[in-house]
Amino acid sequence: MGLDKLLRYNREWAERMTLEKPEIFRSHAKGQRPKYLWIGCADSRVSPYESTGLKIGEIFVHRNIANLVPENDNNSQSVLQFAIEDLKVSHIIVCGHYGCGGVLTAYQGSAKEPVTSWVSGIKTVIDRHQKELALMKTTIEKLNLITKLNVIQQVNNISQNKFFLNSEHKITIDGWVYDLKTGRIGDLEVTKQTGLD
């Protein structure tokens, strides 16, 4: 047991894929041309592939706790640079999700490091929207609003990013939220795009 099941599945999957599309792995070995960059939470319940129907090779994926793109984070900044300058993706999707542990940590406060520092940007979002949050009756409503505001903040962060602003091709950034209870993705309709066509 243990990991054997995973490796057995992998062998069967690779064989099946090769039968269905004999060129697939040869083509992958030559390079990638995904149109989409997905920036999502690391949460195990959110699958960028399964929830959108996109296939292997079609999305460049970056995931971390609470789908953050802080300016001082070399990891996500490198992803943006590579996806924009080299892969020339045409769509960047920031997808948060309700029931996010990272959002909850920022809301409740915690002494755990480094996660508390990691989500400190969400704390700033919370502080900035105290008035709107005060109108929410329940904690769940507050957390859901913070989840949306956090996604919007990340979309805004990317729209100010130098790689995005200097892009020589057209790129859109969209903010989405995935609902764990229904599997549905909601579009926050906060699309930003570079001015170039």
Q: Active-site residue numbers?
A: 41, 43, 45, 97, 100
Report the C-alpha gap between 75 and 80 in whole angstroms: 9
Q: Does 146 bind Zn ion (CB under 5 A)?
A: no
* Alpha helices (runs of H) in 87-159, residue ranges in sequence order: 101-108, 115-118, 120-128, 130-134, 139-159
Q: Does 100 bind Zn ion (CB under 5 A)?
A: yes
Question: x/- site string to Zn ion, residues 1 to 30, per CB under 5 A?
Answer: ------------------------------
Residue 94 CB, shortest distance to Zn ion, in Å, is 12
Instruction: Return the H-helix or E-strand segment holding 8.
Output: helix 4-20
134 close to 53: Cβ distance less than 8 angstroms:
no
Which residue among 34, 43, 153, 173 contacts Zn ion (CB under 5 A)? 43
Q: Does 119 bind Zn ion (CB under 5 A)?
A: no
Residues that bind Zn ion (CB under 5 A): 41, 43, 100, 102
